[in-house]
């Protein structure tokens, strides 16, 4: 009986992208957990792995002007229900709050709280550090080609 070569399953582009994203997000959360500017309660949640990559979707996708739940879910590629659950958790942690949408009093917008904006700044700093570490590990030229290639790939 011939055993098929299945090495492709561990090294195809989708798997590598997924592993890279998990590694990058884990590093960002690690950096945020140790950032003294992050409110202590949020830092403790991050250091105990209570805040994970799913919560980063809100950090990545919530507009500074606020977003409706449907906009936020669509931007993150999640169901409205799943995003609603994340928003509820983040609201309990003091990262976001729901308020009346100024354009439609029947609708609600999710907005960052003051602590949420501190969290967002810590996220910006952590992403910059993780990107710099990536550049140092693979070299500037490779990092530039990867970035340009990924930008071209997601724009099509």
What pLDDT, in 10s, does the model give residues 54-93?
Answer: 677 788 899 999 999 999 999 988 899 999 999 998 898 8
pLDDT tens track for 103-155: 888 889 999 999 889 888 888 999 999 999 999 999 999 999 999 999 999 89
Residue 7 inside a domain? The answer is no
> Is-contact 53 78, C-beta < 8 A?
no
Compute the C-alpha angle 55/57/61, nearest 5°: 135
Which tokens belong to 119? 């969290």
pTM: 0.80
Residue 69 inside a domain? The answer is yes
Q: What is the CATH number for 67?
A: 1.10.10.10
Domain that holds residue 121: 14-140
Of 90, 32, 31, 28, the closest CA to residue 62 belongs to 90
Which tokens belong to 80? 């409205």
Number of domains in the chain: 1
Torsion of CA 75, 66, 121, 114, to 10 degrees: -150
């Amino acid at each position: 009986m011939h055993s098929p070569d299945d090495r492709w399953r561990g090294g195809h582009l989708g798997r590598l992208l997924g592993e890279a994203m998990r590694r990058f997000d884990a590093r960002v959360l690690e950096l945020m957990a140790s950032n003294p500017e992050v409110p202590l309660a949020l830092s403790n949640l991050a250091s105990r792995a209570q805040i994970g990559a799913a919560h980063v979707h809100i950090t990545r996708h919530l507009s500074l002007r606020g977003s409706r739940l449907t906009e936020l879910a669509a931007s993150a590629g999640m169901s409205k229900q799943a995003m609603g659950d994340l928003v509820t958790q983040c609201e309990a942690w003091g990262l976001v709050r729901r308020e009346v949408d100024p354009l439609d009093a029947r609708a609600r917008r999710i907005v960052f709280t003051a602590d949420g904006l501190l969290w967002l700044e810590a996220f910006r700093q952590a992403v910059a550090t993780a990107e710099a570490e990536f550049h140092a590990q693979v070299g500037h030229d490779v990092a530039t080609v990867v970035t340009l290639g990924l930008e071209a790939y997601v724009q099509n």
